[in-house]
Amino acid sequence: MTSSRVRAVRDPRAAVRAAWTETVVLAGRIACSLSRGLRLGAGGVVGGRVVLALEPKALSVLTRGRRVVLVSGTNGKTTTAHLLASALRTLGPVAHNASGANMPDGLVAALVDDRSARYAVLEVDELYLAGVADAVHPAVLVLSNLSRDQLDRGFEVHAVAEGVSAAIAAHPGTVVVANADDPLVVGAVTGADRVVWVAAGAEWQADAVGEAPARPEVRWSVDGSGVRGPEGTTPLRLSLPGRFNRGNATLAMAAAGALGVAQPDAAAAFAGVTSVSGRYALVDRGPHTLRLLLGKNPAGWGELLPILGNAPALLFVVNAHEADGRDTSWLWDVPFEQLPARPTVASGEQAADIGLRLSYAEVDHRTEPDPLAALDLLPAGEVQVVANYTAFLSLRRRLARKAAP
């Protein structure tokens, strides 16, 4: 109390600024509770928008004095950020945009929610990376991969990579934890002063043709026995499925290592992460047990198809809102031809688009735009559900509503 008063006397402008920040944060919180109370949504993003409208420099103000890690890239950023946040919590409280709202309003909402945490793990949409980095001066930047996604918004993959590259060049003090297996990432990061290279895997190479930078020597890698890092090999017991999630965990462990988390501590924290904002979660509904998987683009779907391996039934849900990309052409880059025959339903607002794609892949299926009605077309038991962004969010919301008493 006394000390703050003394400071106020010494620098009245700082006191006014601090009071303004508190007012803005309060306004943001009120907007959040109003939005939640009125059931307009989860509320976070609305609060963030209010704060940004009143204080355009909110990102910079709210991260002052914190160690910030930014996680960006096309795929895997939400999972990597969740794993990383779990590891950093072994050091202390962490502010984290856990919902996956990764544009500035979502970031601000997470920072407003937790004002005291010394660490912040912020997943950032790759198109906003440069602006966000300028505002928050990240200690660490994690870059997972770059591939085609929402081209109606990003237009060209290489232009996105150039933006990322510029963001990195503008922050020479930032430690960049980068995926050495993705040629577009290597191209974007090369030239940065402080890089920790990680072999995190990259199946999708179709956007990197003509990019032939030499693969840098890696400090971190992963195989069946676990993560190999500077401290040796640490066994990895993930609850999340898929080879790509072992790559995400390796990136997260390397980033946590840059901030002083020992490999075994990070691995122990990772084991406790069972679902990532609803992804990979198991949900019981009537006679069905659903496993919810999020696939946003061809690279993501391509990684998911192999883990659908022995699923007895499949439900694909596809929308085409702005957050999904309004062009559904990407469905034709997903190798559905490799799916073995089993009960399958095409669903979502673009059910017909994915249904048509399945027909050309000769995958026998039925088509039902409403995903809950689509479940009734599938046999009882386990159903693997792959949905794109807004389809996933809306399905989760409806499942939660049904489950509520």
Q: Which residues bind other proteins (CB under 8 A)?
A: 148, 151-152, 155-159, 206-207, 209-210, 298, 319, 321, 326-333, 346, 349-353, 355-357, 359-362, 367, 369-370
Cα→Cα distances 345→42, 141, 356, Å: 29, 39, 12
Q: Which is nearer to other proteins, 114 or 370 (CB)?
A: 370
Q: State CA 19 to chain mean position distance.
A: 33
232-234, strands of its sheet edge to edge: 221-223, 226-229, 232-234
- Beta carbon of residue 357, minimum distance to other proteins (angstroms, whole number): 7
Cα separation, 216 vs 46, whole angstroms: 42
Task: Give the chain's end-to-end CA distance (angstroms, integer).
Answer: 47
Q: Which is nearer to other proteins, 122 or 351 (CB)?
A: 351
- Beta carbon of residue 355, minimum distance to other proteins (angstroms, whole number): 4
Residue 234, SS3?
strand
Q: Which is nearer to other proteins, 43 or 371 (CB)?
A: 371
- Beta carbon of residue 206, minimum distance to other proteins (angstroms, whole number): 7
Q: Which is nearer to other proteins, 208 or 254 (CB)?
A: 208
Q: Which is nearer to other proteins, 48 or 298 (CB)?
A: 298
Cα separation, 195 vs 282, whole angstroms: 37
Q: Looking up tokens 């005291």, which residue turns up?
A: 116
Please enumerate, as own/partner, the contacts of 268-271 that have beta carbons within 8 Å and a separation of 24 or more: 269/83, 269/86, 269/87, 269/89, 269/90, 270/83, 270/86, 270/87, 270/236, 270/237, 270/238, 271/237, 271/238, 271/239
Q: Is residue 292 within a helix (H) or strand (E), and if so which, with residue range?
A: strand 288-294
**What is the 8-class DSSP label of residue 214?**
P
Q: Which is nearer to other proteins, 34 or 151 (CB)?
A: 151
- Beta carbon of residue 104, minimum distance to other proteins (angstroms, whole number): 22
CB-side neighbour CA atoms (13 Å) of 386: 24
Supply 20's token pair.
């303004």
Q: Looking up tokens 């190999």, which residue turns up?
A: 228
Q: Which is nearer to other proteins, 41 or 260 (CB)?
A: 41
- Beta carbon of residue 193, minimum distance to other proteins (angstroms, whole number): 27
- Beta carbon of residue 315, minimum distance to other proteins (angstroms, whole number): 16
Cα separation, 56 vs 20, whole angstroms: 12
- Using DSSP bridges, classify how beta strands 288-294 and 381-387 pair: parallel, antiparallel or unpaired: parallel
Cα separation, 99 vs 102, whole angstroms: 8
- Beta carbon of residue 305, minimum distance to other proteins (angstroms, whole number): 16
Q: Which is nearer to other proteins, 105 or 353 (CB)?
A: 353
352, amino acid identity: A
- Beta carbon of residue 326, minimum distance to other proteins (angstroms, whole number): 7
Q: Which is nearer to other proteins, 194 or 321 (CB)?
A: 321
- Beta carbon of residue 333, minimum distance to other proteins (angstroms, whole number): 5
